Structure 1
Amino acid sequence: METIKKNKGFGNWIRTSITARMLMIGFLILVLLIPLIYIKELIRERSERQQDVVFEVGNLWGTEVLLMGPILKVPYKTYSESTKIDSETKKSIVERKTHMNYAYFLPNNLIIDANVDAIKKERGIYETSVFSSEMVFKGNFDIPDFGQKDILPEDVVWEKASIIIKSSNLKGIKNQIEMQLGDSKISFLPRYRQQQNQSYGPNYVSMHELESPFLSEGALPKLGPIGFNTAITINGSSKIRFVPVGKNTELHMSSNWKDPSFTGNFLPEEDAEKSVTEDGFVANWKVLQINRQFEQSFFNILPDLKEFSFGTELLVPVDEYQKSERSAKYGYLVIALTFLVFFLIQTISKINIHSFQYLMIGIALLMFYTLLISISEHQNFLKAYVIASAAVVGLITLYSKSILKHRKFILLIFGSLTALYSFIFVIIQLESYALLVGSIGLFAILAMVMYASRKIDWNQS
């Protein structure tokens, strides 16, 4: 009999004690965090799948475009001497060896006109941006200065000079590249160059080389500057960038894409943002030699200059996964605050709410995120958020009708959940003011909880 009384006493304590309810609610919140972690993992996997599709489409159509050139390549001779002792005569013999090296000279002026015709490509429920760009390169080469390295004129091998262009995307080039150089017309062919000492990180871009045949006498800047003019049509995806190899580099870019992101080491002129409209954008860059950190000529080795590139990324305004992930980060707050509202109602009104009912409410709150991610893959984020939140708020409100009975408590649940999901939506839309708005909102919620709980007798332990 004493054991039965003790069991009844313990059960009564579980049902009536505020401390027991708080412990039970805390335990349920910890349990619900486990599926919430799996939901975050689901969002991450779907986001990675989208990136895989973007990569696949880019490989088929053409990867991002990064161009560097044209660059004048001129071989020159250097000499080395070594002394050997003849084993028979014991006399010293001086041997002189000739070595072939290369000098690289960048253009004096470089003007690029790029017209980027962008479209969306879809694969299943995912989409990415691809483009076809028609570009015209104009400029001139100055007389190469070999005197800075004390190279004699007779050691310059002019008859084997050439022009090179480097590109990250040979697959996407759609025309035979020909250049008018002085009085001569030259064409370009790919040249294999083994990549050495490269850092193959996540942002690594491999550069491939196009080289012209040896230049004729009329195409060499030996007596004065030589002008050049060439056109390139290329398919690409995501980004289009250029290395400012000209002593004075100008880029004029126009496109029908309405969501550009100007990236790289240099930004366009100040009026670029104003020229972005629903019909596309127009942007202009001007980069002087003093603005960059490399000279106009290199001897022996042409360094990797990709870090100085600039251009445009064609953004696809599909950030549903990022917003869904940000929403899921507030899952702890949503579950805790919802349980808190039910706990306050239960404590103030003496209505008994079973732990199973708390669990059902928690699972309904988790269903919001699966609904959000699945609907947002077919609709825009605003519609997905409204549908998912309305479904969950409606479900919990109807469920609470059978628990709370009183109309004022049901309306309180409906109003609290509506306000909470509206508050979360506002926060995830903000960037610069997300922390400020979130802090103010949490302070207001704390104030309301403190006000609502002021008459609770916390001695009912």
Structure 2
Amino acid sequence: MQMKALWWKLVILGGVTLLLLLVLLRIGWLVDERQDRQRAAEASVAAAQAGPQVLLGPMLQRSCSEEWESVSGTGKDITKTPERRDFVLSAVPAELKVDGTLNQEQRERGLFKVNGYVGEVALQAQWASLGALIPVAEHKGKLSCEDPRVMVAVSDARGLRAVAVKRGAQALTVRPGTGHDSYPHGLHAQLPDQALDQPLTLSFAIHLVGMTDFGIVPAASATQVKLRSDWPHPSFGGRFLPMSKRIDERGFEAQWQVTELATTAPRDVLAGFSLPGVERDPDAGRAYAPNPAPGREGKSGIVADTLAFSMIDPVNPYVMSDRAIKYGLLFIVLTFVSVGLLELLSGRRVHPVQYLLVGLAMTLFFLLLLSLSEHLSFALSYALAAGAAIGLLTFYGTAMLGAVRRGLGFGALVTVLYAALFVLLNLEKAALLVGTSLLFAVLAAVMALTRRIDWYAPNGRTAEQPEEEAIGTW
């Protein structure tokens, strides 16, 4: 009869666990909803000011045309038709040096914070030869060309606060737009009286504003990039990691060096491929970026390579809450095991409704953690939510188990579980090891404490113990 009651209790506890699982799923949907609202806040800031920036250039362009006459027919029927071909010649630098300082400038949309940056980016580009800008007549016609121009493209031109371009000591007039079909957003400057048989050096000073992500396309034969910021938690993306970097509480400094032997960016740019986005760490959140524009002549390719970083919050409250909820079911099962073990050792019967109330207190911890973390730091939010849950469970456990000592012991077990969960959330690489070790330790403890129990005997007493001894007073 007692075995039948035990099995019915286990079935009811299984139903309670499924009910709590549904509660956890609903809280998980709420976390997803808040993450979507965070992304909507990013999109709103990007629409109102400036979004993530990817910088391409400088690159030289020269618009040319060829005029000729095509002849058709013979004798008296001969016909001459004027023809014209318009084309653009382009040249990427032989050497490109980038030196930039982009410090954080946080923006807010309601409860949501969006990381932005503002600063100066200095470019120095050198062309050893401008032979690529000399046109060749394909139809033996008359060639005419405009003065060369230099262009710099960005993802969002609204982030260009101020730009200065110099050819040697000569300041050039900066105009909006690039004149390039594939990269319409940016700036250009004409290069009047530029000799095509001489090397060229241009320098740029760009005051730039952007949001979260920044990248540079290494469209040169040799590219050197040096970036610094006061943001202490960068996530380096793109196709190349920095050759050297320094990261501390004051910020970071990183250096890249890429040659055309290692990147297809110069060829991609000359082919008119679209600007890429910045590949962000997937655990830190999806990058916001507009859809790339189609490339020249309908090409839909995207420039493959960037040198990039993202201003990622290492303790994103929604990412951390989502990770915590993934451990939620295991967390509740371990708590039920603890209650069942105390019930077995103490001889105090615990009703399934009491299990349900304990489980609800555990699940509400995750909702409390989510709501607090939107206003406070994650560590403080976790401490407050865990403290509230531990206090409630200890208070309730005292009445549920019939003794203050047992209630305090139950509270201590719950405290260990919360501490273990916090360790799991903060140890990305060792999370599996720590979690497995915790489960093994719990199983070992249960097996050690119940090793003398005769599960076929009434009230769980051992074969060697009388009933009153087996129940005891824990």
TM-score, length of structure 1 as denominator length: 0.83
State which of 188, 204, 207 in structure 2 corresponds to 1:211: 188
1:188 & 1:244 partners in 2: Cα distance?
23
User: What is aligned with 2:292?
Assistant: none
Paired residue secondary structure (2:161): coil
C-alpha contact 2:58 2:125 (8 A) present in aligned 1: no
1:224 corresponds to 2:198: yes
User: What is aligned with 2:341?
Assistant: 344
Paired residue secondary structure (2:131): coil
User: What is aligned with 1:290?
Assistant: 261
User: What is aligned with 2:161?
Assistant: 174
User: What is aligned with 1:8?
Assistant: none
Residue 427 of structure 1 and its aligned partner are, at CA, apart by 1.0
Give CA deviations for 1:81-102 in whole Å, capped at 9, x if unaligned.
Answer: 977558xx79575757331211
1:57 corresponds to 2:33: no
C-alpha distance 449-298 of structure 1, shift in aligned 2 (>3 A): closer
User: What is aligned with 2:151?
Assistant: 164
1:369 & 1:262 partners in 2: Cα distance?
31
State which of 226, 233, 241 in structure 2 corresponds to 1:267: 241
Structure 2: tracts of 5 or more residues without a match: 277-303, 459-474
Equivalent pairs counted in the alignment come to 430
User: What is aligned with 2:87?
Assistant: 101
User: What is aligned with 2:248?
Assistant: 277
2:9 & 2:267 partners in 1: Cα distance?
75
C-alpha distance 318-50 of structure 1, shift in aligned 2 (>3 A): farther
1:447 & 1:99 partners in 2: Cα distance?
82
C-alpha contact 2:89 2:133 (8 A) present in aligned 1: no
C-alpha distance 162-444 of structure 1, shift in aligned 2 (>3 A): same
1:60 & 1:139 partners in 2: Cα distance?
32
TM-score, length of structure 2 as denominator length: 0.81
Residue 160 of structure 1 and its aligned partner are, at CA, apart by 4.3
Matched AA of 1:63: G
C-alpha distance 140-157 of structure 1, shift in aligned 2 (>3 A): farther
State which of 251, 254, 262 in structure 1 corresponds to 2:225: 251
1:236 corresponds to 2:224: no
1:118 corresponds to 2:88: no
2:454 & 2:204 partners in 1: Cα distance?
84
Give CA deviations for 1:111-153 in whole Å, capped at 9, x if unaligned.
Answer: 2221223232334333222221212222222333359996589
C-alpha contact 2:243 2:256 (8 A) present in aligned 1: yes
Matched AA of 1:257: W
C-alpha distance 139-123 of structure 1, shift in aligned 2 (>3 A): same
Residue 431 of structure 1 and its aligned partner are, at CA, apart by 0.8
1:298 & 1:58 partners in 2: Cα distance?
25
User: What is aligned with 2:287?
Assistant: none
Give CA deviations for 1:368-394 in whole Å, capped at 9, x if unaligned.
Answer: 111111111222222211221121122
User: What is aligned with 2:376?
Assistant: 379
State which of 362, 365, 372 in structure 2 corresponds to 1:368: 365
Paired residue secondary structure (2:428): coil
1:27 & 1:250 partners in 2: Cα distance?
62
Matched AA of 1:372: L
C-alpha distance 395-48 of structure 1, shift in aligned 2 (>3 A): same
C-alpha contact 2:52 2:210 (8 A) present in aligned 1: yes
Percent identity over the alignment is: 27
1:305 & 1:61 partners in 2: Cα distance?
20
Matched AA of 1:111: K
1:56 & 1:297 partners in 2: Cα distance?
31
User: What is aligned with 2:272?
Assistant: 302
Which fold has the larger relative contact order, with Cα–Cα distance below 8 Å and residues 6 or more apart in sequence?
A: 1
C-alpha contact 1:106 1:297 (8 A) present in aligned 2: no
Residue 434 of structure 1 and its aligned partner are, at CA, apart by 0.8
Residue 304 of structure 1 and its aligned partner are, at CA, apart by 3.1
User: What is aligned with 1:43?
Assistant: 31
C-alpha distance 293-13 of structure 1, shift in aligned 2 (>3 A): same
User: What is aligned with 2:431?
Assistant: 434
C-alpha contact 1:64 1:169 (8 A) present in aligned 2: yes
Residue 56 of structure 1 and its aligned partner are, at CA, apart by 2.1
2:137 & 2:447 partners in 1: Cα distance?
84
Paired residue secondary structure (2:85): strand
Residue 231 of structure 1 and its aligned partner are, at CA, apart by 1.5
1:35 & 1:297 partners in 2: Cα distance?
50
Residue 426 of structure 1 and its aligned partner are, at CA, apart by 0.9
Aligned residue runs from structure 1 range 122-137, under 5 A: 122-137=108-123
